[in-house]
Amino acid sequence: MGNNPVLFSLLGNTLANFENDTEVLQILSKLMRSEDKFLIEVAATKDLNHQALQDAVNEYDNSKSFKEFVTSSLLQHTDLDIDLNSVFFESSIEKPDKAILLKAIYRNTTGNPDKVMLLDRSIINFAEQDTIRLYLTRKYTRSGIDKVISQSKLSIIDRLNTLSEPDNSSRFGMDLILLGSKSTVRDDEKNSSLANSVWNH
């Protein structure tokens, strides 16, 4: 592609699934040249109160298809007899105002300890009421995702936030954000960047 600008993208709230989301975006930003752009899409929330936490849990808990999605890894990698009623969702506030952090877990609700066989035929003990974390995701506040972006040395060029639409009465929505390199990066830093090393080889 030579010197042509590249539009990178990370859509479908994928960024929210990483444990260290800020670190991931920082790494990806280093692969960008000054003329490249980055499009990210994240789930958004207006509120971080108790009701918002409960509504976020209910959104996932009421979806059979989502429960089937998060337990697919157990079906593929273990011999567990999956019970969708054993899938639970926990929500909490991440940092003072960053996001609603949601975890999907599978709990042993059989009343007895269980033995679970993995793909390599090794056996692990799955104690009663013990849990396996299946999935991690977030719903970001506007200030929360903006801070993640700023800490990644990226700047916002444009955005479309469905929470800002006049007819949107929901507390949840999506934030589609177009990013570019921060103009404060010095020329010598750009010339010695990881991006230029990658593109030049």
In a domain, 8, yes or no: yes
Q: Is the pLDDT of residue 114 over 80?
A: yes
- Taking alpha carbons only, the member of 19, 2, 182 closest to residue 101 is 19
Q: Is the pLDDT of residue 201 over 60?
A: no
Q: Which residue has the higher pLDDT, 187 or 86?
A: 86
Q: Is the pLDDT of residue 147 over 50?
A: yes
Tell me: do 56 and 134 sit in the same domain. yes
Q: Is the pLDDT of residue 68 over 70?
A: yes
Q: Is the pLDDT of residue 179 over 60?
A: yes
Tell me: do 87 and 106 sit in the same domain. yes
| Local confidence band at 72 (pLDDT 50, 70, 90 cut-offs) | very high
Tell me: do 145 and 129 sit in the same domain. no
Number of domains in the chain: 2
Q: Measured between alpha carbons, how far is 74 from 76 in angstroms, rounded to an integer?
A: 5
Q: Measured between alpha carbons, how far is 41 from 11 in angstroms, rounded to an integer?
A: 5
CB 105 within 8 A of CB 132: yes
Tell me: do 175 and 122 sit in the same domain. no
Give the pLDDT score at 189: 44
Which residues sit opposite 61 in a β-bridge? Answer: none
Tell me: do 73 and 101 sit in the same domain. yes
Give the pLDDT score at 70: 97
Q: Is the pLDDT of residue 198 over 70?
A: no
The 10s digit of each residue's pLDDT in 15-28 is: 999 999 999 999 99
Domain that holds residue 95: 47-138
Tell me: do 69 and 116 sit in the same domain. yes
CB-based contacts of 84: which residues, under 8 Å, 6+ apart? 64, 67, 68, 71
The 10s digit of each residue's pLDDT in 87-104 is: 999 999 998 899 999 999
Tell me: do 66 and 114 sit in the same domain. yes
Tell me: do 28 and 100 sit in the same domain. no
Give the pLDDT score at 1: 63
Share the mean pLDDT of the chain: 90
CB-based contacts of 77: which residues, under 8 Å, 6+ apart? 118, 119
Q: What six digits make up the tokens of 11?
A: 């859509």
Give the pLDDT score at 39: 97
Tell me: do 27 and 66 sit in the same domain. no
Q: Measured between alpha carbons, how far is 144 from 132 in angstroms, rounded to an integer?
A: 28
Which among 116, 138, 160 is the end of a domain? 138
Q: Give the burial string for 124-160 (b: 16+ CB within 10 Å, else e).
A: eebeeeeebebbebbbbbbebbebbbeebbbeeeebe
Asked which of 76-85, 107-116, 187-196 is least confident by mean pLDDT, the reply is 187-196
CB 29 within 8 A of CB 195: no
Tell me: do 96 and 21 sit in the same domain. no
In a domain, 60, yes or no: yes
State the CATH number of the domain containing residue 150.
Answer: 3.40.50.150
